[in-house]
A and B are shown apart, each in its own frame.
Chain A
Amino acid sequence: MVYNLGLQNINNNHGIISFGSKQDKEKKIEHKSDVLLYDEKKKHPLILGAKIQADKLEKACTIYPKKGLQGSKNANFYEFLTMGEVPYLIGSGMMIATFNLASKFFDTPSAQSASKIGKKMGLGVLLYGLGKTFSKKLIEVPVNMKYGIDVNLPYKKKIDELPEYNNKKDDLVSYEYHKAYESVDFSRWDLFYDNKSYGDERNSYYKKIGKKLGLTNEELGTAADQKVKPLITDKVVKTKVFSTLSSYLWAATGVGIAMQKPWENITFNPKKIIQTFKNNSKIIEQNEHAIKNNWFKDFGKRFGESCYKLVNNESKSASIAGRLLLGSAVAMTLLGNFSTLFDFNKNRGTNSSAATSIIDENKEKVVC
């Protein structure tokens, strides 16, 4: 058995050692080690995001379950977490199905009332997901804009797998998409050193962030990284906690919007939607104002009406509850912005690492 072990070959400029029958073939190896995808994200953030999601989803449905069910020794926590998206997707589908699938067997009035609930539930699942995902950006983006700290900055991780018993697979290299700050205990600080994307110096990234955090050159000194890392962690933790807390409130608000009356008689026929979308595109070309029967426009109108209904319902108590729900989501986001964008105690960040450490830094220590 010949394995591509992913080791660096000092005699081979292509970076990978390979033996045996495939020695002659030049295999395209993307990276020698883990790579920060800063430039890619800067150039095409949406494409990169979609690519990563597609890669994760594909593997979560194919390779990872196979490895997991076989009990592969190469299976890891990343794979387990990535597979966690599968229940979300299937669960959402099932949730919609529990309300919609059986309704076609009902008689007309029951089917109509089931369909009303079904539509709301389906939309609720959709708006839950959208609310949860996009609300995080309301805190993450301002932090990125002000301090240059992108909590979602991805990097491509190279995994050198162990050979499996009786496995014919000769390529033991696999790749995973992680985020540099996905762990606050083990942030990938190393990926920012000597990173040409941020400048020519070893500490360019840390200096840049340090300045944005309000530190002077003198304060940064020669070890900018040591000075800035705790401050970054402080921001990352705050961003994460507030975006998490607010995201579920926005998700709940999304479901609240989906439960309003205007959605009850919306029709959902993908074929027709595409058709009207195409037709409307043509109409728009001809006359900007001649948009008629546009499903998307109708959707937008209903969305607006539902948002209004959430805070101005027929029932006064429902209006108050709706305002509280929306208000709590908005308040949590604003609190997140306030907490992350304004620093009241600049020294606090430097203490944060000590707070999570169990070792007293003032004491001499030796490992025995």
Chain B
Amino acid sequence: MANLISSIIISQQEGNNKTISKPSFTIDTTGKVTPLEYKGKLLPSRIIGSPVTYAKDLKDDFVNIKDAANGKSNDYKLGRINDVAMKLGSLALASYLFVKNPLKLNKVKEYIGFGTFFASMAVWPKLAIQLPIKARTGVDIHQKYIDSQGRKKMLYLDPQYVLTDLYSREDLDRIGKGLKVSENLPDRDNFIKQRAQKTALQGNTLWMMTAGAATPVMSALACNALEKPVSKLIEHSNLVSTNRAINTPEVFDNVSIMKSDIKELQFSKFLKKNKNKSLSNPEFMSQLFEKLSAGTNSATINDGLKQELNALLEKPTLSAEAIQKILKDKVDISSLSDNVKEELNKAISEQNFNKIAELAADTSNLTGAKNKKARNQFINSLVKTLKAEKSELKSNTTVQEASERLMSLYKNLSQFGRERKILDDYINVRAVGAGSYVANHWERVSNKFLNGLTGKTKSFLSPKELKAIADGDIETLSKCLDKLAGSKNYNKVVMDLINMVNGYEEEVGESFLENVEQKGKEIFKKTSNNLKKENFIHTANKISSNGEIKDTAQNALINSVKENVSGARSSFYRLLQTIDLFKQVQDGSFESVLRNAIEAQGQTADKATIDRLISLCKKYLLTATTTDNVEKLKSAGFNVSEDEFKIMMNVLYNSNAENSITRSLSEKIKPEEANKLLEGFNSYKEEYKEKVVNWVNGITPELSRRTQGEAAQSADAVARNSLVGKSVLDFAKDAAAKRLRSDKWLKIFGGGMIVLTAATIAATFAIGRKSKAEKELEAENKVNG
């Protein structure tokens, strides 16, 4: 402040004597070089720069790097190179993580992370510091300027070197007004410039103090917020692209054919390189297996492939000399007739050991009924000896000899792998693993259900209740479902859930499964037939068979897809059914349905029995994970008799019975439309009744025992489990736990971010304020004025 005061004193003294003497000499500048006129100017402040400028800057940066690599640069250019290097390094890292991550969403997230981090670095100081200060004081602390050499710099970067001369008259007046500088202050412009510089210094320091905490958290929060829309976009693009690929494989096949041509060439080279090796070489064998099994994507097929390769190994033959040597002690070959000799030679060449032994037995006079036993013993022993001798021999088949067959096997499997990849992609994006439609939809339904329980107001489901549900407290969940049944929100929740489940049926319902089955059969069967034609029976049978073999890759794939899809589907319907049950219990309709069912069984429907069965029905839908038999349920804590259980099943899975959902939907849409929406729900109940309720009632087991094999029974068990789905308690528990986790994370970091932002913006109010000295100076001037 001292130099400001002194400068004002000097300026006041100068004010008294305004005549400034001119120099008494002149300089002739003709033909001389004079300093260039300064062409620097302030740059307009933008939140997002123009793409043209970015492109131009980027081009300049690369020219700078080229110049610097040749030793030509300056501080400004080196500074920019540092920024470019940081972005390039981050891009390289994001690209590596993009490739490394198997999930498409995670791949995209790497670039989102990269983008949001740099965006946060730029946005934080702008939003929390620069703009609030500018709005209040008029000083843009990140004001940029371009100098005569075209270098873009921050005006206030170096507090000791600020080109405030670049400010126009209007700028200074605006800033002076914002900083509330008295109009009549002598040397007002200088005073404004110093105050602006001070304001910028304070703002920049605040930026340095807060950026470290704000940038990563802001970036993490942005990533979190972008996750849902991005995952939805990716899901949509995956569904469309795989659908197109499976319907028009020829379009997508070109690239993969080219790739597989290259691979075939590589495989052929591999065979050539090892042409002199024996097929029995274990190291070669393992390399061979690895290459052949690369695209099969099935343990079942790989089992067949192993057998195929072993079959290729069974090439060694016992030579005629070796066989004759064994027969020498038992048969006098020279005494044999020409016919017998011919037969023997034929058997030797065919390696038909039984025939050889039979011929040998004939020549040893072991004929007739008397010698039958001795003859058999002779034959068995000779066959055994010959086989033992053969097994001693190692395969001498060289790779070269087998290369034609191996190449043919490789080509078939390679084509199969290519076609299967399209089918696998089609299946995976819909039904398998994290990121698939099924997994994402599960998440969406979970959220919708929880939001339904939560209601529009927070009081509907308190954090305490959420925690209790996450801990698996059935009482709390029942209480919440009761609340939902009685709330105005009920119709909307039910409608939303029905739409979601129908959406699921549309995407991965019957038509999807039929498509998978049809395409699967097409691809697997074709490969299997081709392989059979070329006598690769082991592999062919493991890929697909005409029904005689159950353990095929085709069946495994189709079954696993069905299982995946129907498990989630059942869980969704079970959820709907539970919501429906709670509503029916509340409006009293379930009581009458139950009473009728009990009376139809010839039992008395007293209040206690009805209440007991209602509570059992609720408990069944909320917690049961098995339906095999009543005993199993009893061990799971259900105090229920067989008769009672049958009543429960028949009541719960009666698709004809009117349900609360139909009533609820009818309030909003026409009954026909409501019935259409509930088609899937009703067919689920039908299926359940057929496969599970009948099982419980003792019909299916007998039927399956009589008509189907054990494999069919076990397949039924899998189908039944899929129909049971996830218990509603487990479903709610997982959803609540996940919600709690994300709430916790958001609470910590989102809350922290809010506090930091509020504190930073509040701190900007202390920036640019007049210091005591400045106030004193203005006050003094007012008095003088």
Complex: A105 Cα to B747 Cα, angstroms: 12
Interface string of B72-111 (1 = CB under 8 A from A): 1111001001100110111011011101101000000000
Q: State the majority secondary structure of interface residues on A.
A: helix
Instruction: Pick the contact of A348: B3, B34, B70, B93 (CB < 8 A).
Output: B70
Given A256-B96, A339-B69, A71:B198 Cβ within 8 A: yes
For the complex formed, measure the closest distance between the CB of B109 and the CB atoms of chain A, giving whole angstroms.
Answer: 12
A-side contacts of B29, CB under 8 Å? 366, 368
A277-311 CB contacts (< 8 Å) to partner B: none
B621-675 CB contacts (< 8 Å) to partner A: none
B-side contacts of A24, CB under 8 Å? none
Q: Which of A49-57, A196-204, A214-222, A316-324 is found at the contact surface with chain B?
A: A316-324
Q: Name the residue in A107, A164, A234, A241 with the highest tally of chain B Cβ atoms < 10 Å from its Cβ.
A: A241
B-side contacts of A68, CB under 8 Å? 201-202, 204-205, 208
| Chain B residue total in the interface (Cβ 8 A) | 69
B-side contacts of A364, CB under 8 Å? 32-33
B-side contacts of A80, CB under 8 Å? 157-159, 204-205, 208
Complex: A165 Cα to B96 Cα, angstroms: 55
Instruction: Pick the contact of A98: B70, B212, B749 (CB < 8 A).
Output: B749
Given A71-B199, A80-B159, A244-B78, A237:B772 Cβ within 8 A: no
B456-499 CB contacts (< 8 Å) to partner A: 470
Instruction: Pick the contact of B159: A76, A95, A359, A368 (CB < 8 A).
Output: A76
For the complex formed, measure the closest distance between the CB of A314 and the CB atoms of chain B, giving whole angstroms.
Answer: 10
| Chain A residue total in the interface (Cβ 8 A) | 82
Given A77-B160, A249-B89, A322-B96, A86:B212 Cβ within 8 A: yes
Contact B208 A248 (CB under 8 A): no
B-side contacts of A23, CB under 8 Å? none
Q: Which of A6-14, A40-48, A137-145, A349-357 is found at the contact surface with chain B?
A: A349-357
B-side contacts of A153, CB under 8 Å? none
Determine the residue in chain A with the shortest Cβ distance to B220: A98
Is A29 interfacial (CB 8 A cutoff)?
no
Instruction: Pick the contact of A107: B82, B737, B745 (CB < 8 A).
Output: B737
B198-230 CB contacts (< 8 Å) to partner A: 198-199, 201-202, 204-206, 208-209, 211-213, 215-217, 220
A-side contacts of B89, CB under 8 Å? 247-249, 251-252
For the complex formed, measure the closest distance between the CB of A246 and the CB atoms of chain B, giving whole angstroms.
Answer: 9
Contact A238 B33 (CB under 8 A): no
Is B52 interfacial (CB 8 A cutoff)?
no
Interface string of A239-269 (1 = CB under 8 A from B): 0111011011101100110010000000000
Is B68 interfacial (CB 8 A cutoff)?
yes
Given A68-B202, A94-B212, A328-B92, A166:B773 Cβ within 8 A: yes
Contact B81 A244 (CB under 8 A): yes
A-side contacts of B73, CB under 8 Å? 184, 237, 240-241, 356
Given A80-B208, A318-B99, A363-B33, A252:B92 Cβ within 8 A: yes
Instruction: Pick the contact of A248: B3, B32, B86 (CB < 8 A).
Output: B86
Determine the residue in chain A with the shortest Cβ distance to B72: A355
Contact B212 A238 (CB under 8 A): no
Instruction: Pick the contact of B82: A72, A88, A233, A244 (CB < 8 A).
Output: A244
For the complex formed, measure the closest distance between the CB of A149 and the CB atoms of chain B, giving whole angstroms.
Answer: 12
Complex: A80 Cα to B772 Cα, angstroms: 25
A-side contacts of B199, CB under 8 Å? 71
Given A90-B213, A364-B33, A366-B29, A317:B99 Cβ within 8 A: yes
Given A68-B204, A166-B773, A237-B68, A102:B157 Cβ within 8 A: no
Is A110 interfacial (CB 8 A cutoff)?
yes
Contact A245 B100 (CB under 8 A): no
A317-336 CB contacts (< 8 Å) to partner B: 317-318, 320-322, 324-325, 328
B-side contacts of A325, CB under 8 Å? 92-93, 96
Contact B220 A65 (CB under 8 A): no
Complex: A77 Cα to B159 Cα, angstroms: 6
Instruction: Pick the contact of B745: A102, A238, A355, A358 (CB < 8 A).
Output: A102
Determine the residue in chain A with the shortest Cβ distance to B99: A321
User: Contact residues of B with A, CB < 8 Å?
Assistant: 1-3, 27, 29, 32-36, 65, 67-75, 78, 81-82, 85-86, 88-90, 92-93, 95-97, 99-100, 102, 148-149, 157-161, 198-199, 201-202, 204-206, 208-209, 211-213, 215-217, 220, 470, 737, 741, 744-745, 748-749, 771-773
8 new A-B contacts, CB < 8 A, other than A72-B201, A73-B1, A356-B74, are: A91-B215, A165-B2, A165-B772, A166-B772, A183-B75, A237-B71, A240-B78, A252-B89
User: Contact residues of A with B, CB < 8 Å?
Assistant: 64-65, 68-73, 75-77, 80, 83-84, 86-91, 93-95, 98, 101-102, 105-107, 110, 162-166, 183-186, 233-235, 237-238, 240-242, 244-245, 247-249, 251-252, 255-256, 259, 313, 315, 317-318, 320-322, 324-325, 328, 339, 348-349, 352, 355-356, 358-360, 363-368
9 A-B residue pairs with Cβ-Cβ distance under 8 Å, sorted by A, are: A68-B202, A166-B773, A185-B74, A185-B75, A235-B71, A244-B85, A247-B89, A249-B92, A259-B97
Closest 9 CB pairs of A and B: A248-B89, A90-B212, A68-B205, A165-B1, A87-B212, A234-B71, A71-B198, A252-B93, A77-B158
